[in-house]
Amino acid sequence: MPFTADPVVPAGSLAGVPQPALSTGDGLLLRPWRAADAPAVHAAFQDPLIHQWHVRSADSVEEVAGWIEEWQRSWGEERDAQWAVTDADTDRLLGRVALRDIRLDEGLAAIAYWTAAAARGRGVAARATNTLTRWALDEIGLHRLELLHATANGASCRVADKAGFVLEGTKRSAGWHQDGWHDMHLHARVKGD
């Protein structure tokens, strides 16, 4: 069935080029995932806070290696785009930031992130989210990015605020976590914000 409007971002805009590394300009580098990152991701996923707010657990480095292969493939499929957030000088893994549920034709995607325990409290998630947001809206041409987090996750709400995502409302009982259903805050940034 034909569409009545042209796509906001043409298909192939991501898959047609290599996934870029993005600098925050203040000591962080967002870079494509490497197979060698698996042990550091596995270690990060042993943290109780990661367990509290994420539905996945990492039982082995081999399992995480499979995730990384999937993250690498998803760029070419233009459905998700995942970056390792690293220290620009040492390449030490500090976290992850991603565009999920990409819909190029509608110019939409969702932002997701996590931060390794040792990197928390330094603005890593907010800086990485802001850098990825600017790239997605200004370079790629997406129109709207959404960010969801459990209302009980105050740290994630602060990240959204610092990265300029406006709180638009609460989605009732919309997030499933290990302790049950959570209400979720919906934040968004649109081109021009």
**CB 163 within 8 Å of CB 145:** no
Q: List the beta bridge partners of residue 184.
A: 150, 171
- Residue 74 CA to residue 81 CA, distance in Å, equals 6
Q: List the beta bridge partners of residue 167.
A: 187
Q: What is the pLDDT of residue 127?
A: 98
pLDDT exceeds cutoff 70 at 1: no
pTM of the complete model = 0.94
pLDDT in tens, 108-162: 999 999 999 999 999 999 999 999 999 999 999 999 999 999 999 999 999 999 9
pLDDT exceeds cutoff 80 at 26: yes
Q: Is 105 helix (H, G, I), strand (E, B) or coil?
A: helix
Q: What is the pLDDT of residue 5?
A: 84
pLDDT in tens, 43-82: 999 998 887 777 777 889 999 999 999 999 999 999 999 9
